Amino acid sequence: MDQDKNDELLLFRQAVKDARPLRAEPKHAPVKRAKPIPKQFIRDERQALRDSLSDDYVPAHEIESGEELLYLREGHSPAILSKLRRGHWVVQAQIDLHGLVSDEARMYVADFLNACKKRGIRCVRIVHGKGLGSRNREPVLKHKLRSWLMQRDEVIAYAQAKPEDGGSGAVIVLLKT
Q: How many CA atoms lie within 13 A of 154 on its CB side?
A: 19
Beta strands across the sheet bearing 68-72: 62-65, 68-72, 155-160, 170-175, 123-127, 93-96
Q: Which domain holds residue 163?
A: 62-175
Tell me, yes or no, whether 4 lies in a domain. no
Spell out where the chain has E strands.
62-65, 68-72, 93-96, 123-127, 155-160, 170-175
- pLDDT for position 65: 47
* Domain CATH number, residue 101: 3.30.1370.110
- Residue 152 placed within a domain: yes
**Rounded to an integer, what distance in angstroms lies between the CA atom of residue 160 and that of residue 87?**
11
Tell me if 140 sits within 8 A of 131, measured CB to CB: yes
Rounded CA separation 147/158 (Å):
11
pLDDT score at 124: 96
Q: What are phi and psi of 146, to 5 degrees?
A: -60, -40
What's the pLDDT at 58? 46
Q: Please give the C-alpha separations between residue 89 and each of 7, 79, 134, in angstroms, as whole numbers.
A: 87, 13, 31
Low-confidence ranges of the chain (pLDDT < 70): 1, 25-31, 44, 47-68, 131-139
Q: Is 38 exposed, middle or buried (0-12, 13-18, 19+ CB in 10 A)?
A: exposed
Structural domain contains residue 169:
yes
Q: Is residue 128 part of a domain?
A: yes
- The answer as to whether 134 is a domain residue is yes
Residue 20 lies in a domain: no
Q: How far apart are CA 93 and CA 168, in angstroms?
A: 18
Give the integer Cα–Cα distance in Å for 14 and 175: 77
In a domain, 16, yes or no: no
Per residue in 49-89, pLDDT (tens digit) is: 665 555 544 444 444 444 567 899 998 888 998 899 888 99
The DSSP annotation for 146-162 comes to: HHHHHT-TTEEEEEEPP
- How many domains, in total, are found in the chain? 1
Is position 74 within any domain?
yes
